[in-house]
Chains A and B, each alone.
Chain A
Amino acid sequence: MPRDTDVAIVEAVLRGDPDAFGSLVDKYQRPIFNLALRITGNREDAMDATQDAFIKAYQNLGRFDPSRRFFSWFYRIAVHEALDLVRPRLVAEELPAEVAAPGPLPDARAESRERAASIQQALLRLSLSHRVVIVLRHFLDLSYDEMGEILELPQKTVKSRLFAARQQLRGVLVELGLGGLR
């Protein structure tokens, strides 16, 4: 992820050009929405978390340390916003099928849509800390190093948490009938 561009935009906003922030919204709304969606499992909550993450980032841009990577600071805010929404609920909601694979799909893709919905179901059965690492790795395609920066964890802990999360995920996937994995 290009770092200099983001930092230059942040500096422009802080110099008094609030419109510059729009390009950060363009760039990050999709990954942030997906991050929130996979953590909360609920489209409305994901929209709220995304919106709140952008507002908090905007209001606190002056506290961003430009020697760090902007996206890790921002993803961290978004992870918090999503977790804060989902924590009060003890029971995870299932993600509607249209969220897992939205819009009309040709028949040939029905199977992959079902599979996507099952994976999301499995994700929602993971503990929150496991869910977060799976989302960061598999949906946002982040490296161990980037995940460590976002979660403020040593790489070693990221690796072991991700390993435990994947084991838990595999178990749930098998339970859900996505077998042949063992």
Chain B
Amino acid sequence: MTTPIEELLWQRVDGELPADRAVELAARLSADPEARQTAAGVEATARLLAGLSLVEPPAELRSRIDAALAGAGRPVVPLRRPARRLGWWRAAPLPSRLAYVAAGVVLGVAIGVFVEIRRSPTGEVDVRDLTGAMVPTKGSAVWPLDRGAGTLAAARLDGLLSLELTLTGAAPATFSLTGGGGLDLVHLAAPGGTPVAVEAAGGALTSPPLAAGRYRIEVRPAHPEAPIEMTVESGGSTVLRRTLRLADLPAI
């Protein structure tokens, strides 16, 4: 598909036009008067934008920041494990060690059962953190995945279904979408923005197995009112199945 000339012109303005595309652009400009007119328009807009300078912040901003920092407490520093002290364990007789192990197992099982009982399949959690997420902010729908496998957040962005899948489990997970009267994948991006290939078959989009991390998915449903089914599978079982309509989501 031929790239629109305007897009090439903007890439040139941005200094991001690859050499081979620069040759293509030059040829199109010399051959087409309409292209030259478009170029003049792009350059005029670029000049307009380039003429804007940064505004100086108000003088009181710095003192406000300093005052807020003074009351902010210390930064959270990553925890370091203390040196392991096993002297008491080595000194304990064998029956005592077995008793400690048994007590530990019972306690672990009890905590696991308690957590499982307390987990609400519909409870909303705020997974937003400061590594930054465009989706799970105020007003977005967020669902926890079963088995502590992570979360899925959804919002509406310029007519797109914008999803953020955060995987925290050890087992890889696959993510699939179907419905919406047909889905057009805009992208699935791994942490850092690396694109991930998605299989499209039978009206469904399915990711390859995804390791732990945060993934961004954007799709355009053909019909915003049509239900879209989202499924996340991990370790051989379904950890989330949810149906939504784009029209019901908060816009961001």
**Interface residues, chain A, with chain B CB atoms under 8 Å away:** 13-14, 18, 21-22, 25, 29-31, 33-34, 37, 43, 47, 50-51, 54-63, 65, 73, 76-77, 79-80, 83-84, 87-88, 99-102, 112, 115-116, 119, 127-130, 134, 137-139, 143-144, 148-157, 159, 162-163, 166-167, 169-170, 173, 178, 180-182
- State the CA gap A119–B51 with chains docked (Å): 10
Q: A59-B75, A153-B193 are in contact. Are A178 and B252 (CB under 8 A)?
A: no
- A87/B252 in contact, CB under 8 A: yes
- B66/A148 in contact, CB under 8 A: no
Residues of A within 8 A of B11 (CB): 159
Does B69 have its Cβ within 8 Å of any Cβ on chain A?
yes
Does B110 have its Cβ within 8 Å of any Cβ on chain A?
no
Residues of B within 8 A of A115 (CB): 48, 51
Stretch at the interface among B54-62, B111-119, B219-227: B54-62
Q: A77-B132, A159-B11 are in contact. Are A173 and B194 (CB under 8 A)?
A: no
Residues of A within 8 A of B64 (CB): 47, 51
- A155/B132 in contact, CB under 8 A: no
Does B32 have its Cβ within 8 Å of any Cβ on chain A?
no
Does B16 have its Cβ within 8 Å of any Cβ on chain A?
yes
CB-contact partner of A59 in B14, B56, B73, B187, under 8 A: B73
Residues of B within 8 A of A101 (CB): 55
- Offer 29 A-B interface pairs, CB within 8 angstroms, sorted by A: A13-B75, A22-B66, A25-B65, A29-B65, A33-B55, A34-B57, A47-B57, A51-B68, A54-B65, A60-B76, A63-B78, A73-B130, A77-B130, A80-B134, A83-B252, A84-B137, A84-B138, A112-B51, A115-B51, A119-B52, A148-B193, A152-B132, A152-B134, A152-B214, A153-B189, A154-B187, A159-B7, A167-B6, A180-B44
Distance between B48 CB and nearest chain A CB, rounded to angstroms? 6
CB-contact partner of A156 in B14, B41, B137, B187, under 8 A: B187
Does B108 have its Cβ within 8 Å of any Cβ on chain A?
no
Does B139 have its Cβ within 8 Å of any Cβ on chain A?
yes
The main secondary structure of chain A at its interface with chain B is helix
Residues of B within 8 A of A173 (CB): 45, 48
- B54/A139 in contact, CB under 8 A: yes
CB-contact partner of A18 in B74, B137, B139, B216, under 8 A: B74
Residues of B within 8 A of A162 (CB): 10
Distance between B72 CB and nearest chain A CB, rounded to angstroms? 5
- B189/A63 in contact, CB under 8 A: no
- B69/A137 in contact, CB under 8 A: no
- B41/A182 in contact, CB under 8 A: yes
- A55/B69 in contact, CB under 8 A: yes
Distance between A96 CB and nearest chain B CB, rounded to angstroms? 12
Residues of A within 8 A of B75 (CB): 13-14, 18, 58-62
- B189/A152 in contact, CB under 8 A: yes
Does B192 have its Cβ within 8 Å of any Cβ on chain A?
yes
Does B129 have its Cβ within 8 Å of any Cβ on chain A?
yes
- A99/B57 in contact, CB under 8 A: no
- B52/A47 in contact, CB under 8 A: no
- B76/A138 in contact, CB under 8 A: no
Residues of B within 8 A of A100 (CB): 55
- State the CA gap A88–B74 with chains docked (Å): 31
List the B residue with the shortest CB-CB distance to A144: B16
- State the CA gap A127–B61 with chains docked (Å): 28
- B44/A29 in contact, CB under 8 A: no
Residues of A within 8 A of B192 (CB): 149, 152
Residues of B within 8 A of A54 (CB): 65, 68-69
